[in-house]
Amino acid sequence: MKTVLAYGDSLTWGSCPETGGRHPASHRWPDVLAAALGDSVTVITNGLRGRTTAYDEYLADCDRNGVRILPTIINTYAPVDLVIILLGANDMKPHICGTAIGALQGVRRLTQIAKNHMQGLSNGHRAKVLIVAPPPLVESDDPEFRAMFDGGIEESRKLASLYEKLAREMDVAFFDAGTVAEASTLDGVHLDAENTKKIGVALAPHVKKLLAV
């Protein structure tokens, strides 16, 4: 049995841009991926709304800094064989980070942790890493989202090429979710059911290859 940790934000939790609630499990990309991978792989959905790559924020009653929590999450699900990192959208908020280069550096640190974290097992088990670039932000009619992500559309479009270069630099896998899915114009950030499902479908062959299943 192999374990895949899907470490992300609201795109992984499954925020529905229409209702503001959560997509049913069957529409979330980690569940779609799990269905495609079959019974020999467990996919852990770990998506926290508002999670940043590596930046503090105190705007919700929980720790949203992806770097500070990742070691706890890996240990909780150890042995973890693959960590899929799908983060960066929340970094586009100017009051959090505001730049693609800032998100890049957060993902670099997350990748270092995921690759090197000792999982507390006698055999020195370590995880592989797959970096996924989020679909770029798009124009929307929601004025608070527009203000909250001011300048984010342009910056978010830089993420895929930056993350791809990082993956090569660190010798981990990469996938650009923007090649198969796009954000909803309802809020400019989140994915409707069809688009979140597409990510799960598209990741399946990559994960199978990485896990050799």
Q: Specify whether the CB–CB gap between 8 and 51 falls below 8 A.
A: yes
What is the rounded CA–CA span in Å between residue 118 and residue 37? 26
Minimum Å gap between C-beta 194 and a second copy is 21
**Please, what is the minimum distance in Å from the beta carbon of residue 178 to a second copy?**
19
Shortest reach from residue 18's CB to a second copy, in Å:
13
For a second copy, the closer of residues 1 and 212 by Cβ is 1
| 69-91 per-residue burial string, b: 16 or more CB within 10 A, e: under 16 | bbeebbeebbebbbbbbbbbbbb
Q: Which is nearer to a second copy, 79 or 204 (CB)?
A: 79
Number of residues that this document lists for the chain: 213
Residues that bind a second copy (CB under 8 A): 1, 13, 20-22, 24-25, 42, 46-49, 54-65, 67-69, 71-72, 74-76, 78-79, 93-95, 97-102, 104-106, 108-109, 112-113, 116-118, 120-122, 144, 147-148, 150
Name the residue among 174, 185, 74 with its Cα closest to residue 136.
185
Q: How far is the CB of 213 from a second copy (least distance, A)?
A: 17
Question: 195 to each of 23, 32, 101, 160, 190, how far by Cα in Å?
Answer: 11, 12, 26, 17, 9
Asked if residue 7 lies in contact with residue 84, where contact means CB atoms within 8 angstroms, the answer is yes
The Cα 200–Cα 163 span in angstroms is: 19
Whichever of 88 and 202 has its CB closer to a second copy, that residue is: 88
Q: Give the shortest CB-83-to-a second copy separation in angstroms.
A: 14
